[in-house]
Amino acid sequence: MKKGITALRKGKQTRAAILDKAVAITSRLGLDGLTIGSLAQATGMSKSGLFAHFGSREELLLATLDHGAQLFTDVVIAPALRAQRGAPRLRALFGNWLDWTESSALPGGCPMIGAAAEYDDRPGPVRDRLRFGQGQWIGVLRKAIRLAIETGELDPATDPAQLAFEMFGIALVTHHHRRLLGDAGARQRALTALDRLIAANAPRSPARAAA
Amino acid sequence: MKKGITALRKGKQTRAAILDKAVAITSRLGLDGLTIGSLAQATGMSKSGLFAHFGSREELLLATLDHGAQLFTDVVIAPALRAQRGAPRLRALFGNWLDWTESSALPGGCPMIGAAAEYDDRPGPVRDRLRFGQGQWIGVLRKAIRLAIETGELDPATDPAQLAFEMFGIALVTHHHRRLLGDAGARQRALTALDRLIAANAPRSPARAAA
DNA sequence: CCAATTTACGAACGTTCGTACTATTATAAC
DNA sequence: GTTATAATAGTACGAACGTTCGTAAATTGG
């Protein structure tokens, strides 16, 4: 038998394949649209065979969110960390974020944004997982902002939480406008907004960048 | 028999009562969560009796969106139009918008925002209706911005579309942070962000406000 | 008050939902 | 190669889904 470099056992790799499809479906139809039957059909498996991988639908939803979060980390965060800390990294994070919502693997945009809108008022494990993921991501954003303050590219008086909040808003409205309204210029508007956001938080006394 | 001042026939007023509940359910569970059965239970009606008012589930969804839009107009737009044109009206629109998402009639926040996230990738009458409503609202925002330019409270170089876009983003992230993350300070952050937005678009040469 | 019409109900349809069980096949370890 | 185990399929279930139909009750207009 051939064993790939990853040496994944059969079950694990079909599970991963299932979750790829699950993330895509969630992207288009939301978590509510992710049913065992439709997912089985999409993967060519039987309902019961697929079901055995997760034990319950809720576990499937949680696994899908985890899979999506892992994908997000790989595609959005990790590459941006290779950019120079400070403003370049902040812009890279933001740009990758916008790209992510247009990824071909996500026919309906960011699955977490959709899921958040669905589950923000439904207490339970799904919402908890969502909160955790979004909290992690906001933490990454805030840290990148703090580093930009350290490099002198942002004013020391900048509130990282406030700036992350506003950046998040731009990402959400970009998603909203492009997806729902078909606004092709949304991305450009988003970049314009980010520029103004950074400019508004530029150092008041033009101290040269350090580090 | 007593006939109210509105002189609504029986059917119309139960229909309105149904739609009130429908909007509330949509607020919490989204359009996907709005089922004939649950809505019948919430109103104390039979499934078939309720169904007869709409003829199909899709028609129920459309009627729910229309009802929500009407509510939005009454609660958010109309009162703000009594504020002085220009910056005051713009702030009133924004503030009413934020209040709307916390309205007691909407236990899960703005139903249109939730529905938009669900249906932004599902072509059909529901998405079309959603687009129309959101487009109308954006039009109102842009007009208010244009008036603020005319009164001299915003710079003539201000792009109404860009500013409306960014305001929309703040509203979305406020909704997101408060609902999902339980961020009680979201509203204050939103007002701070709006202030910054207006300040950033303040007239460059301090021409006195006209009109 | 009566007749016409609107409004609501109850029962049943076929489908899909999530899940439980059993059986069968494919894989991994020895 | 044989055996133990993991992975998939098959079947069936009760519940909920949207929808249809025939009928009873309530409301309306004359």
Which tens digit of pLDDT belongs to each residue from A34-90?
Answer: 999 999 999 999 999 999 999 999 999 999 999 999 999 999 999 999 999 999 999
CA-to-CA distance for A19 and A135, rounded, in angstroms?
22
Pick the residue of B25, B35, B173, B191 with the most A CBs within 10 A to test the interface with A by mutation. B173
Q: What is the DSSP-derived secondary structure letter of residue A44? A: T
Mean pLDDT (chain A) is: 93
What is the pLDDT confidence band of residue B4, given thresholds at 50, 70 and 90?
very low
DSSP state string for B115-161 = HHHHHTTS-SHHHHHHHHHHHHHHHHHHHHHHHHHHTTSS-TT--HH
Nucleotides of D under 7 A from a protein CB: 6-12, 16-22, 26-29
Which candidate from A28, A116, A169 shows the least CB-CB separation from B170?
A: A169
CA-to-CA distance for A130 and A153, rounded, in angstroms?
32
CA angle in degrees (0–180, nearest 5) for A200-A201-A202: 95
Q: Is the CB of A56 under 7 A from strand C?
A: yes
What is the pLDDT confidence band of residue A8, given thresholds at 50, 70 and 90?
low
Q: Is the CB of B47 under 7 A from strand C?
A: yes
Name the token pair of B64: 């729910």
Chain A residues within an 8 Å CB radius of B164: none
Residue B205 is predicted with a pLDDT of 66
Torsion of CA A76, A80, A82, A85, to 10 degrees: -150
Q: Is A109 on the interface with B (CB under 8 A)?
A: yes
Q: Is A162 on the interface with B (CB under 8 A)?
A: yes
The predicted model scores a pTM of 0.93
CA-to-CA distance for A140 and A69, rounded, in angstroms?
13
Collect all residues with Cβ–Cβ distance below 8 Å to A122 and sequence separation of at least 6.
B28, B29
Q: Is the CB of A57 under 7 A from strand D?
A: no
Q: Is the CB of B57 under 7 A from strand C?
A: no
Residue A98 is predicted with a pLDDT of 98
User: Residue A80 is which amino acid?
Assistant: A
Among residues B60, B196, B37, the alpha carbon closest in space to that of B126 is found at B60
Contact A121 B179 (CB under 8 A): yes
Which tens digit of pLDDT belongs to each residue from B181-208?
Answer: 999 999 999 999 999 999 999 998 654 4
Distance, angstroms, CA B49 to C1' C8?
5
CA distances from B211 to B79, B84, B208 (A): 22, 11, 10
Residue B5 is predicted with a pLDDT of 34
Q: Is B117 on the interface with A (CB under 8 A)?
A: yes
Q: What percent of chain A has pLDDT over 70?
A: 92
Exposed, middle or buried: residue A151 (CB in 10 Å: 0-12, 13-18, 19+)?
Answer: middle
Which tens digit of pLDDT belongs to each residue from A178-211?
Answer: 999 999 999 999 999 999 999 999 998 654 444 4
Distance, angstroms, CA A2 to C1' D1?
20
Q: Is B202 on the interface with A (CB under 8 A)?
A: no
Q: How far from each other are the two terminal CA atoms of chain B, in whole angstroms?
A: 53
Report residue B151: phi and psi, to 5°: -80, -5
Distance, angstroms, CA A208 to C1' C8?
76
CA-to-CA distance for B94 and B80, rounded, in angstroms?
9
List, in sequence order, the alpha helices (H) in chain A: 10-29, 36-43, 47-51, 57-72, 78-80, 87-101, 111-119, 125-150, 160-181, 186-200
Among residues A140, A162, A118, A170, the alpha carbon closest in space to that of B185 is found at A162
Q: Is the CB of B17 under 7 A from strand C?
A: no
Mean pLDDT score, A80-104: 97
CA angle in degrees (0–180, nearest 5) for B169-B173-B176: 145
Exposed, middle or buried: residue A65 (CB in 10 Å: 0-12, 13-18, 19+)?
Answer: buried
pLDDT of B211 strictly over 50: no
Q: Is B191 on the interface with A (CB under 8 A)?
A: no
Q: Please give residues of chain B from 55 to 84 whose alpha-adjacent beta carbon (CB) lies under 7 Å from any atom of strand D.
A: 55-58
Mean pLDDT score, B106-124: 97
Distance from A2 to chain B by nearest Cα, in Å? 40
pLDDT of B110 strictly over 60: yes
Contact A117 B122 (CB under 8 A): no
pLDDT of A5 strictly over 60: no
Cα B195 to chain centroid, rounded = 21
Chain A residues within an 8 Å CB radius of B134: 180-181
Which tens digit of pLDDT belongs to each residue from A161-180?
Answer: 999 999 999 999 999 999 99
Contact A32 B118 (CB under 8 A): yes
Mean pLDDT (chain B) is: 93
Chain B residues within an 8 Å CB radius of A23: none
User: Residue B75 is which amino acid?
Assistant: V
